[in-house]
Structure 1
Amino acid sequence: MPVAAGLAFGLVLAPIGAAADPKPTISQAKAKLEKLNDKADKVVDRYNTANERYKKAKSTYTKLNTSYKRKLATVADLRTEVVGIAVNSYKIGADVTSLPGLMGADDPRALLAGLTIAGQMSKERAEKLAAFDRENRELKSDRDKAQKALEAADKERDGVEKERSEITKLITEQKKLLNRLGAYNPGNPNSTGIKYTGPASGNAAAVLRFAYAQVGKPYVYGGTGPGGYDCSGLTQASWRAGGVSLPRTTWQQWAWGASRRVSLDDLQPGDLIFSEGLGHVSIYAGNGKIVHAPQTGDVVKVVPLSSYGRSLVGAVRP
């Protein structure tokens, strides 16, 4: 059963006005939303990953295609130049191949020297043209491969987009329910956050100062700031403030940190904490706290790690 269909079967709510169904409590609504978000996190992260691959493939293709077109123009100019020299040499040669022609020249030695130079020039350009042709064939091959990669990335992105859009519709329904229950927190895109006063030092301190300044801003799927973030969008932006360039998605950040893994028993401020089967990532703030962008209907916030109900996978120290 497709993910979206399974979610729809298990999570779509009956009409609020139905007499047989009691109005769900806030805790029940939040539990359903959290369950949906846990599944949606993975889908959206796959979409973000696919989108990053698409953007990278498109950038590679664009650069190669531009270079290929530029070299095609260079090859065309060289070919024109070589042909022009060859034609002119032939015309001159036709006039001086006979003895009268040589005798009638103003300076036969200078003419012959000129022909030799013209021949050398033609040969040099012909060799250069051949080299450019070889290079261009290789470039065309790379360009064609990049085009296939771009097409594959586009197809992957489209496949995940359909799944994501179906889940987004369900999440919209859940947001409406939370609104009716008065439990939906829209956040403030212009929030100035709170001041970080924890134990971090060095670039980790810059990371956490930035992350704390985002507290109160809404969780937004695919959000990279400044008005809203998803979980990996927040960690990426925060560590950028600390001078480290992280990949975009949770899975990519975990893979990037393969050689930077640390024990959950040895956490330091600034460490990335991964959870929910790599569906979520947060930042350790020190003193047993984390800062993260949790889920739809919530905001960037600071919470105790001990109260964080998601299964932890591991940690990375950028």
Structure 2
Amino acid sequence: MRFGRVPMAAGIAFGLVISPMGAAVADPRPTLRQAKAKLEKLNDKADKVVDRYNTATERLKDAKASYAKLNDTYKRKLETVAALRTQVVDMAVNAYQLGGDVASWPGMVGADNPGDMLAGMALAGQLSQERAGKLAAFDRENRGLKAERDKAETALAKADKERDEVEKERAEVRKLITQQKKLLDRLGAYNPGNPNSGGIKYTGPASGSAAAVLRFAYAQVGKPYIFGGTGPRGYDCSGLTQAAWRAAGVSLPRTTWQQWAWGARRKVEIKDLQPGDLIFSSGLGHVSIYAGNGQIVHAPQTGDVVKVVKLSAYGGTLVGAVRP
């Protein structure tokens, strides 16, 4: 979000481009202050769009997993029905060889719901108990087959929809990133980072699980912000917090919104912060980790790197914190 978004020492002032006397005056380029203000707005918007992208990506993963599970169930049931159908056909052949009435069997075997025919044949005394049991099983599995197929088709359609949403959000993120990079270049503030950065050592006051979280997060310092990044070569804000707490054995959900909701019963006041706590911005566009001694570690935005800055450097409103 806004933690140390644009280094104050970085950039150059932009003056008016004035043509020689008598010529038309060109449109003024933005001043340093104006460029920074525009970048702040882009960063805020990008935070929210990236979180929507991450949310859509998570929904797509869930939808794909649901479809895969249902499709596997459908395939297994299809095999079961095929095996039972073979048994029913064998029964029909046996009945024919024994001189039984099999005129209605072909229709029953090929029917979607042969239950009514089965019931009629049983009442007519044409089926032994064993045969009736096999045919009932065939009927039951045949009915279930359609239900499982329909569930799988619904899950597939949902996955397709979620995929389209991901593509839509990805396109908007890329557009914003292009704008951000352009402004950062003007300001001389673009930092590509080092995906192989060894980070820095954490020497703060944290202990226990929080110490493991912060040792991990500090080891990522210098790696680039990457939208949708979950490591190890780069992170977005919630990707870093998720990975850091995973290092301490705690499983956080993926997105900023999900992490805030996950911590509904773990919220703490900003004045009561302890090392390892997650700090959320207003609008839930950004999340960082409190490191103690008035500092935070976070993945800020495009064109910047995982870094440690003072909490007081935050330029926006904090909505609260969560203690995992």
Give distance in 2, aligned partners of 1:226 and 1:162: 24
Q: Deviations over 1:240-261 (max 9, x none)?
A: 1111111111111111212221
- Measured in 1, the distance between the counterparts of 2:273 and 2:34 equals 33
1:138 equivalent in alignment to 2:159? no
Of 232, 241, 245 in structure 1, the residue corresponding to residue 238 of structure 2 is 232
Q: 1:13-57, CA deviations, whole angstroms, 9 ceiling, x for partnerless residues?
A: xx9995446666666544432321111111111111112111211
CA RMSD of aligned residues (A): 2.4
Aligned equivalent of 1:177: 186
Mapping for residues 114-263 of structure 1, pairs under 5 Å:
119-178=128-187, 181=188, 183-263=189-269
2:81 equivalent to 1:82 = no
Measured in 1, the distance between the counterparts of 2:80 and 2:235 equals 46
1:39: which partner in 2? 45
What is the match of residue 6 of structure 1? none
Q: How does 1:34-113 map to 2 (within 5 A)?
A: 34-93=40-99
Deviation at 1:145, TM superposition (A): 3.1
Which has the higher relative contact order, 1 or 2, with Cα contacts under 8 A spaced 6 or more apart?
Answer: 2
Q: Assess if the C-alpha contact under 8 Å between 1:86 and 1:122 holds in 2.
A: no
SS in 2 for 1:303: strand
Counterpart of 2:296 in 1: which secondary structure? strand
Question: Deviations 1:141-183 (Å, cap 9, x if unpaired)?
Answer: 42233234223323433333343232222123224324xx3x3
Query: Is 1:281 aligned with 2:281?
Result: no
Q: Which amino acid aligns with 1:301?
A: K
Secondary structure at 1:313's aligned position in 2?
A: strand
| Structure 1 residue identity aligned to 2:281 | S
Gaps of 5+ in 1: 1-14, 95-117
Residue 120 of structure 1 and its aligned partner are, at CA, apart by 4.2
Instruction: State the secondary structure of the residue aligned to 1:48.
Output: helix
Report the equivalent of 1:102: none
Amino acid at match of 2:134: R
Q: Secondary structure at the match of 1:228?
A: coil
More helix by share: 1
CA distance in 2, matches of 1:24, 1:188: 30
String of CA shifts for 1:163-217, please: whole Å, max 9, x gaps: 3232222123224324xx3x32221111111111122222111111100100111
For normalisation by structure 2, the TM-score amounts to 0.78
Q: Which amino acid aligns with 1:127?
A: A
Query: How far apart in 2 are the matches of 1:187 and 1:163?
Result: 23
Identity %: 64
Q: Tell me, in whole angstroms, the C-alpha distance in 2 between the residues paired with 1:306 and 1:232.
A: 20
Instruction: Give the 3 Å change call, closer, same or farther, for CA 93–202 of structure 1 in structure 2.
Output: farther
- The runs of 5 or more residues in structure 2 that have no matched partner are 1-13, 19-25, 101-126
Instruction: Work out the CA distance in 1 between the residues paired with 2:29 and 2:293.
Output: 39
Matched, 1:266 2:275: no
Q: Secondary structure at the match of 1:186?
A: coil
Report the CA distance between 1:121 and its aligned residue.
Answer: 3.8
Deviation at 1:271, TM superposition (A): 0.9
Counterpart for residue 124 of structure 2: none
Matches of 1:17 and 1:66, distance apart in 2: 66
- Between the two proteins, the alignment pairs up a number of residues equal to 278
Q: What is aligned with 2:320? A: 314
